[in-house]
Amino acid sequence: MTTDATLASHLQELRRGTVVVASLTVLRTPGYGYSLLETLSESGFEVEANTLYPLLRRLESQGLLTSSWNTDEARPRKFYTTTAQGNAIADALRTEWARLDEAITDLSTTPVKE
Amino acid sequence: MSANLVDRYVFTALRRVPEQQRADIDRELRASIEDAVDARVEAGEEREAAVETTLLELGDPDRLADSYADRPNYLIGPELYPVWRRSLMMLLTVVLPIVVIVVAVVQVLAEDAGFGEVIGSAIGTIINVGAHMAFWVTLGFWIIERTGAGKDDINRPWTPKDLPRYEPGALTRVQFAANLVWPAVLILALVLQQFTFTEVPLLDPANWNFWWPVLIGLIVLKGLWVFWVYRLGTWTRQVAVVNAIHGVVIGGVILYLLAADKFFNPAFPGFNGVEVDLEGWISVAVMITTGLSIAYEIFDVARKAEQARKGLGVKVPGTGNTYTAS
């Protein structure tokens, strides 16, 4: 495996799960699939449509999101909103993220013990 | 044309999505595709090209369907894989050889098959039975993987107790089982040859008054001996001595019967109508094989007992390591 491929696989490993936190956070204001995809990629989350759309349904079946069809516009769209439970989970995940960030920073700044 | 392509894509994906979700996913997926296409057209792409790129990014519809249905895209997952591999290896390396041997023995006794025939059918059995074993085990594990039924039972947590025992002499569970199957097969073959394999039994029916029951009793004793060794967990001098006595007795009985022309059935049609004394030659061959294999067995057990007594290590197969109990 080349260095690039190794790096790519580790990055993928590291990013797995961040999309869930990001989606639950963004959808505190209701949004539909494509809009969320746009928002996420603008904010620097590399996520594929074929990962995101099924993920939204999975989060809905877990009770972290609710959905409703908006047929006011010409194109009917399914809007997702984060539930209270989803918010609580997102909070817990963000806390964990912050803790990990702190821990990694500590590790990389602590001088190596002799 | 482009609408056509979207239809084909959505229908293909929906084929493998559970019924009750289809209508909803249909609407949502179309809306998402159209949103993406519109965005591309606004950015200046041709409509048809935009549809193609959008679908290309969504990727294989079968894969998308798996993702929607939350279906695992593997046959047997990492949780069950080691159990599956162990089960299959056990079947292929222990059970399959036993089946092949039994088939060969039955063929020789029942159909008087020649050497070539036996080899041919052994290869056939290996391929046929092996394929069946691999298929059914995999199917079973696949069902467990998908339904989750009984998953915890077969995938019980590993503990250090599960480590194989390399102590000199200790029979592993597999060896124990194989050593028990062999006497059972012998007794079964002895009884069945009287009734089913051939019209006229191969072995002398007159011996049912005395010698065959004695032989069966001796084989049962061998089975008990195996059980004893397994419980003991090590080869001892007593084990070796008992084995030697048993070997001499059972060997003596078989050799006596063969030498006195009381082993094979003189009325067996396979022996008659040939110029040479077929029964005599076969008797000699069986005498030599029996004598040699019993002598080897006595020697082998004695060697293991000696090794265990001296605390010598045993070779762990396939690694070049030597394990010494301490």
Instruction: For residue B63, give its domain range.
Output: 2-69
Confidence of residue B168 (pLDDT cuts 50, 70, 90): low
Please state which of the ranges B130-134, B136-140, B305-309 shows the lowest mean pLDDT. B305-309
CA A103 to chain B, closest CA, distance in angstroms equals 30
Fold assignment, A18-109: Arc Repressor Mutant, subunit A (1.10.10)
A52 band by pLDDT with thresholds 50, 70 and 90: very high
3-state secondary structure of B8: helix
Angle at B176 between CA B175 and CA B180, to 5 degrees: 115
Q: Is residue B294 part of a domain?
A: yes
The last residue of one of the domains, among B69, B97, B115, is B69
Chain A interface disruption, residue of B67, B71, B73, most A CBs within 10 A = B67
pLDDT of B60 higher than 70: yes
8 A C-beta contact, residue A50 and residue B63: yes
Instruction: Judge if B152 and B168 occupy the same domain.
Output: no
**What is residue B183's predicted lDDT score, i.e. its pLDDT?**
83
ipTM of the assembly? 0.84
CB spacing of A53 vs B32 below 8 angstroms: yes
* Claim to verify: residue B218 and residue B268 sit in the same structural domain: yes
| Domain ranges for chain A | 18-109
Question: What residues in A contact B29, CB-CB < 8 Å?
Answer: 53
Instruction: Identify the domain boundary among B104, B135, B162.
Output: B162
**B310, B171: one domain:** yes
B137, B17: one domain: no
B305-309, Cβ contacts within 8 angstroms, sequence gap of 24 or more: B305/B169, B305/B235, B305/B236, B305/B237, B305/B239, B305/B240, B306/B240, B307/B168, B307/B169, B307/B235, B308/B167, B308/B168, B308/B169, B308/B234, B308/B235, B308/B236, B309/B236, B309/B237
| Closest residue of chain A to B67, computed from CA coordinates | A54
Residue B149 is assigned to a structural domain of this protein: yes
Judged by CB atoms closer than 8 Å, whether chains meet at B32 and A58 is answered as no
B213 plus B287 within the same structural domain: yes
Please give the mean pLDDT across all residues of chain B.
84
Q: Distance between CA atoms of B225 and B230, rounded to whole angstroms?
A: 9
- pLDDT tens column, B69-89: 888 778 888 888 888 998 899
| B241 and B298 assigned to the same domain | yes
Listed residues B162, B180, B215: the one ending a domain = B162
Average pLDDT over residues B197-206: 78
